[in-house]
Structure formats: structure tokens, C-alpha cells
Structure 1
């Protein structure tokens, strides 16, 4: 009987330690998740406040034909999404056209045939255009809309 009591007493603390560890791990996971969610949502609010308000859209008049690699070409037409700070006056698209030609010249059809490839080049182009159309720390353009995109 003394052996049974000894074993029963020894098992009780082990269960308590296991339960305590489970509770501690659960609390740490919940606090970590809550903290992560807080910082993720906080970042979204800061980013939303940073995003400029949309203004007028300025399109280019004629489609561009750009030479790609291996005797292929790209026919592209796009519009620039201006910011509200830019006002209602259309921006001059000449610089955006030049940047577009530079960005796409020499690219392969394979690079442009996947969504990932198009988005990668488009985001690089957008960064260059936003930089080119920033005056006195005021962004005049915030986006690009492709209205025509044909490779051959």
C-alpha cells in the first residue's frame, strides 16, 4: 500500500507540470498572435494614411511599339493615375513614355507572358515614374493602367 501511495503522489505533480506547461505555451502563443496582429493592423493604418488620394487619369494618345528580344515586339498603351495633389491639369506623358520604352526594350516574350513577369516590370516602371513625377516632395502620379498590351 505504501508503494501505491508513493506512485500516486509521484504522478500528480507530473500531470500538474504538464498542464502548467500547456497553459504557459498557450498563453505565449496567444500573446504572440495578439501582438503580431496589433503590429500588422497598425502598419495597415499607417500605410493607408500614406496612400495619396486618386486624382485625374491621363492617357497616352497613341500605342507604343517597342522592340523586344529575338525579333519580337510589344504594342503597349497606358494611362497614368495622378494624385489629387496634382490637380486637374494633365501631366506631360513624354517622360513616362521614355521610361516605358527603356523598361521594356530588350525584354523577352517569355518574361512578359507570365503575370509575375509583367507585374515585376510594371512595379519597377511605376517606381521610376513616381520618382520622375515627384515635384518638391509632392507625388504627381501614383499608378499605371495598361489599356493595351500585345506581344508578338
Structure 2
């Protein structure tokens, strides 16, 4: 017995042509999705903009001690040093001394000798100096702190 191949019908021929077209569409869709994923990953790891970097510390500039009038006929003798950012050679200390006087004037002895309050005052002074010096000063240190 011999087997003869049956001739293809019009419906069978159309079904055979659609299968490769669907496969090509699916392949193109997969390639596009992969390209988007790779492009997004490349942007995230290589090209995305980074935020402003933290300033690097530079030299420390010590200023002369000053006396500040406190409440109740008391005074505070305070010395400060400015932590400059890298690239800043020196800063005019008059702004820092003025800000220190404004920060501590009129406070009571109890307020300036309380460790928690003194840390808060120092933090506020450092924040004020960062604004005044526009990125040239990044911190402040007390070099002298005497009340009477």
C-alpha cells in the first residue's frame, strides 16, 4: 500500500502562514521589552543624576575668644573654631563672631551650662554659620566656654 500526500486546502495553507507571523510578533515584543529593561538598568546604574555630594572637610580656623553678656549680670567667654570645607583657604571670622553673640546674648547661665541645651545652641549656631558662609563653613567647635 502506498500513501499519497493529501493536497493542502486553502484553510490549511492559511493556518500554516499565520503561525510564523505570530512567532515573529512575539519575538519582536520580547526583544523590545528586553531593550527597555537593559536601557532602564543602564540609566539607573550609569547615567542617573546624583544629588549634591557632601562637602569634604578642610582646615580648621580658630577665632579669638569673645565675651557675651548673659542675663542677670553674668557673662560667657566663648571661643570658636570654624571647620572650613576643602578648597576654602580662610574665612572672615566677623560673621561667625556676630552670629555667636546673637545666639548667646541674653541667655541665662543655667541655659548655657545645661549640656543638652548647649548642644542645641551649638547645632543652631553651626546651621546659621553654614547659611552665612554659603558652603564655606561646615561645622563649628567650641575652643573655650566659661561662664561667670
CA distance in 1, matches of 2:131, 2:87: 15
Q: Deviations over 1:79-116 (max 9, x none)?
A: 10001142xx2111000000000000001111111111
**Rg (Cα) greater in structure:** 2
Q: Deviations over 1:14-55 (max 9, x none)?
A: xxxxxxxxxxxxxxxxxxxxxxxxxxxxxxxx99x8432110
In structure 2, runs of 5+ residues without a counterpart are 1-49
Structure number with higher helix proportion = 1
State the match for 1:147 in structure 2: 143
Q: CA RMSD in A?
A: 1.8
State the match for 1:97 in structure 2: 97
- How many residue pairs align between the two structures? 99
CA distance in 2, matches of 1:72, 1:140: 33
TM-score, with normalisation over the residues of structure 2?
0.63
State the match for 2:81 in structure 1: 79
CA distance in 2, matches of 1:107, 1:51: 33
In structure 1, runs of 5+ residues without a counterpart are 1-45
TM-score, with normalisation over the residues of structure 1?
0.61
CA distance in 1, matches of 2:87, 2:138: 11
